[in-house]
Structure 1
Amino acid sequence: MSESGIDGKVVAITGASSGIGEATALLLAGRGARLVLGARRTGRLAELTARIEEAGGAAVFLRTDVTRAEDLRALVALAVERFGRLDVLVSNAGVGTVSPLDDLRVEEWDRMVDVNVKGLLHGIGAALPVFRAQGAGHFVTTASTAAYTVVPAMAVYAGTKYAVRAICEGLRKEADGSLRVTTVSPGVTDTDFAEASTNPEVRARITEMRDRVAIAPEAIARAIAFAVEQPADVDVNEIVVRPTAQH
């Protein structure tokens, strides 16, 4: 590895087709990581892979729906097949179909649990055996500042993100010193998060806040890179990155 601690590492990223995932892929590729990109939008993945390769980097991609455990197993298998190992799994895929509980959007609640919680577990289930066999590996998970505070309309979303923190903390305590576990919690970030809400008032409120205070996805990518580049005996467990103007 280079002094950066990133050069040569094999990094798989879910939710890699846009936003934080895309920014992280570009930043890590620029520092010499070899990328394995997963998302549902294969057209966007193909474009991102081409950008990385044109800049001299190495990347492959696979359509990945994190609600399907077999998709995560295939993504991890692709990393091992193409690059011989997997050093880092960035579980970034998430959904925020936020709305007041009174809206009774039960299918959207289910979707958030399936993507945000089960998707994380599917990634752990796929990568953990590989990391154990290697004797090393790094789980990096995108949570949210909603994992620390609950606001109206975000009860279920926050519940999934609290669960993410709990699962990752349990994973860290079971890691036996050979694995690293990092949770990165973004605040308001300039992504398409707001568009997921089907409640017009909530969507307008989130969009207004985003347009007023949001930070760029690259800010979160730099936090992820900071955790990844540390020496093997240094585990950065939790990073919270929010706009200065966000309460």
Structure 2
Amino acid sequence: MTTSSAPSAPSANPLDGRIAVVTGASSGIGEASAEHLASLGATVVVLARRADRLADLVARIEKNGGRALAISADVTDTAAVRAAADRVAAELGGADLLFNNAGVMLPAPVEELRTDQWQHQIDLNITGLMNVIGAFVPQLVTSAGERGVADLINTSSIAAQNIFPNFAVYSGTKAYVTHLSRHLRTELGPKNVRVAAIEPGIVGTELQSHVTDAGALEWLDGSKETVDWLTPQDIARTIGFIAALPPRVNLQQVTIMPTGQTG
């Protein structure tokens, strides 16, 4: 008599053996995602400028039984990012999961000519993103060839799709991230590197504390009164879900909205 076995339960640690690099890891979405990926079994490399915040994060991860390495670096510094990638290769054998998350949001009316803020957003949201891609994609390709899958996940925003007054420059940088991700998927997908763009709506993070424009602050404050904002942990669980999917599955673009946010 032939018997059929019941389906095996999902692994409690589906990312065992994986090496995940998370940028912008000193707060918000990056911090929460690093902790969550570590809880799923990944060894996590946390990368950001604030060394003290990274040290605290590593201590929490290790206290909970995870493994983590802190690297203090500014993603807009090409040499520092390349040095970080070299360290990951030397100490851990290379990354197979990259959550490219560092970014900044500085809305203001374009006629105010806040060129310093424009440049800061372009430097971090675009140039910094590309520095990280340039440094770590070769490792992802190598890892995918060895294990059959690797992941590049880029943080975009619902602002890449929707229209918000005074957010033109920020929205433009995030539209770049989404469109770039689609193109990279055509290059890297055949090499078993999955590429995803995450487009969150409003998430309660440090981003809002950087905003100085009165109109944008009023809009954000009003939204907080009427909408239950997403949390960094909501996004972290989504990152973990994407990374734990079977190698044949690529969620190339994921829009995550608060239930009550309509725009």
TM-score normalised by length of structure 2: 0.89
Instruction: Give the structure 2 partner of residue 78 of structure 1.
Output: 87
Q: In 2, distance between residues paired with 1:132 and 1:14?
A: 19
1:37-116 alignment to 2 at 5 Å?
A: 37-116=46-125
- 1:175-215, CA deviations, whole angstroms, 9 ceiling, x for partnerless residues? 12421101111111111212212223322322442454211
Segments of 5+ residues of structure 1 without an aligned counterpart are: none
Shift of 1:54: 1.0
Q: In 1, distance between residues paired with 2:150 and 2:183?
A: 16
Instruction: Give the structure 1 partner of residue 254 of structure 2.
Output: 239
Aligned equivalent of 1:167, options 176, 180, 191: 180
Instruction: Give the structure 2 partner of residue 228 of structure 1.
Output: 243
Aligned equivalent of 1:22, options 25, 31, 37: 31
Opposite residue 230 of structure 1, the aligned amino acid is: L
Is residue 20–residue 218 contact of structure 1 (8 Å, CA) maintained in 2?
yes
- 1:63-117, CA deviations, whole angstroms, 9 ceiling, x for partnerless residues? 1211112222222222222222211111000000111111110110011111001
Shift of 1:166: 1.1
Is residue 12–residue 75 contact of structure 1 (8 Å, CA) maintained in 2?
no
Alignment RMSD:
1.7
Instruction: Give the structure 2 partner of residue 32 of structure 1.
Output: 41
Q: In 2, distance between residues paired with 1:202 and 1:44?
A: 28
Instruction: Give the structure 1 partner of residue 4 of structure 2.
Output: none
Instruction: Give the structure 1 partner of residue 165 of structure 2.
Output: 152
Greater mean deviation of Cα atoms: 91-100 or 124-133: 124-133
Aligned equivalent of 2:194, options 163, 169, 180: 180
Greater mean deviation of Cα atoms: 192-201 or 122-131: 192-201
Secondary structure of 1:231's aligned partner: coil
Q: In 2, distance between residues paired with 1:67 and 1:186?
A: 23
Shift of 1:19: 0.5
Is residue 191–residue 217 contact of structure 1 (8 Å, CA) maintained in 2?
yes
Secondary structure of 1:97's aligned partner: coil
Secondary structure of 1:174's aligned partner: helix
Segments of 5+ residues of structure 2 without an aligned counterpart are: 1-10
Secondary structure of 2:169's aligned partner: helix
Secondary structure of 1:36's aligned partner: strand
Larger Rg: 2
Instruction: Give the structure 1 partner of residue 213 of structure 2.
Output: 199
Is residue 106–residue 212 contact of structure 2 (8 Å, CA) maintained in 1?
yes
Aligned equivalent of 1:141, options 143, 148, 154: 154
Give the direction of change, closer, same or farther, for the CA distance of 1:229–1:211 in structure 2 (3 Å limit): farther
Q: In 1, distance between residues paired with 2:94 and 2:206?
A: 32
Q: In 2, distance between residues paired with 1:237 and 1:20?
A: 19
- Asked if 1:8 corresponds to 2:6, the answer is no
Give the direction of change, closer, same or farther, for the CA distance of 1:207–1:3 in structure 2 (3 Å limit): same
Is residue 144–residue 187 contact of structure 1 (8 Å, CA) maintained in 2?
yes
Is residue 76–residue 127 contact of structure 1 (8 Å, CA) maintained in 2?
yes
Shift of 1:140: 0.6
Opposite residue 165 of structure 1, the aligned amino acid is: T
- 1:121-170, CA deviations, whole angstroms, 9 ceiling, x for partnerless residues? 11110112222333252111111100111210100100000000111111
Q: In 2, distance between residues paired with 1:211 and 1:217?
A: 19
Is residue 36–residue 75 contact of structure 1 (8 Å, CA) maintained in 2?
no
Instruction: Give the structure 1 partner of residue 7 of structure 2.
Output: none
Q: In 1, distance between residues paired with 2:84 and 2:218?
A: 36
